[in-house]
Amino acid sequence: MTDKTVTPLDEGALSAVTGGATSGGNDSVRGSDAPNLIFGQGGNDTILAGGGNDTVTGGSDNDSIAGQSGNDNLSGDDGQDTMLGGEGNDTMGGGAGSDIIVGGRGADLLYGDGVNVSGGGSDQFHWTRGDGNDTIIGGAGTDVLVIEDTSLTLQALLAGIRTDAGSATPRIENGAINLTGVTGTLTIGGETLRFSELERLTVGPMTNFANR
């Protein structure tokens, strides 16, 4: 799998909404501080959910979705989506396609292929210290977990992995940790990630998202 480039979400020139569906084109919308229900439909949409406990579905095509504050339920649906949970305890499903999923602060549940979605692409999950104790489920495809801290070595990450009974053994190869068949936890600086159905673990620079 070729690592994807993470592009920061642009908060400028977004139309304010309180809920409902977008036009079906390439829409840019911002939710209110109340709980929002937003459906992206077709087109390459940029959606900032705003405050509150929001439910956002990107729809088809390649969407950029940020939950911002609140405990949000975000689904990329079809396409190659970029998703950021922001503050709060979020549930995020990438859906079909090769997605980039960033939990943000809070105790998040991240699915590469979404909940009840068949098939799936090669997804990339980004995590940094301070993001909380999260659970990451990769699903189908060649999925990568990127720890955003270039001061960490692969050896240090490997030492922080505790595998479940019956799990395969993680190993360093080709500049990453091979997690194929591995289930367990990764502990970094007192914070613990539970993971399954991932193929690679590596380190990378911090991504510059708003409300990270």
Q: Which long-range contacts link 50-53 to residues 24+ away (Cβ below 8 Å)?
A: 53/88
Alpha-carbon distance of 75 to 71, in angstroms, equals 13
Pairing of strands 200-203, 176-178: antiparallel
Alpha-carbon distance of 94 to 85, in angstroms, equals 12
DSSP characters over 97-157: S--EEE--SS--EEESS-TT--S----EEEE-TTS-S-EEE--SS--EEEES-TTS-HHHH
37-50 per-position pLDDT tens digit: 888 878 888 898 88
- The full set of domain ranges for the chain reads 15-148
Q: Residue 108: which pLDDT band, with cuts at 50, 70 and 90?
A: confident
Pairing of strands 46-48, 28-31: parallel
Q: Residue 12: which pLDDT band, with cuts at 50, 70 and 90?
A: very low
pLDDT at 11: 43
Q: Out of 94-108, 148-162, 185-199, which region has the weakest mean confidence (pLDDT)? A: 94-108
**Any idea what DSSP says for residue 4?**
P
| Choice between 52 and 167, residue whose per-residue pLDDT is larger | 167
pLDDT at 16: 43
pLDDT (average), residues 172-179: 97
Q: Does domain 15-148 have CATH number 3.40.50.2020?
A: no
SS3 letters for 161-210?
Answer: EEECCCCCCCEEECCEEECCCCCEEEEECCEEEEEECCCEEEECCCCCCC
14-27 per-position pLDDT tens digit: 444 455 555 567 88
201 has which bridge partners?
145, 177
pLDDT at 192: 92
Alpha-carbon distance of 204 to 44, in angstroms, equals 26
Residues 6+ apart with CB under 8 A from 82: 6, 7, 9, 63, 64, 65, 99, 100, 102
Q: Out of 5-9, 35-39, 206-210, which region has the weakest mean confidence (pLDDT)? A: 5-9
Provide φ and ψ at 133, rounded to 5°.
Answer: -90, 100
Pairing of strands 124-127, 144-147: parallel
Helix (H, G, I), strand (E, B) or coil at 5: coil
pLDDT at 1: 42
pLDDT at 160: 97
pLDDT at 59: 83
- Cβ atoms of 148 and 206 closer than 8 Å: yes
pLDDT at 187: 95
147-172 per-position pLDDT tens digit: 999 999 999 999 999 999 999 999 99
- Which helix (H) or strand (E) segment holds residue 159: the answer is helix 154-159
Residue 9 has pLDDT above 50, yes or no: no
Smallest CA-to-CA distance from 50 within 106, 77, 5, 11 is with 11
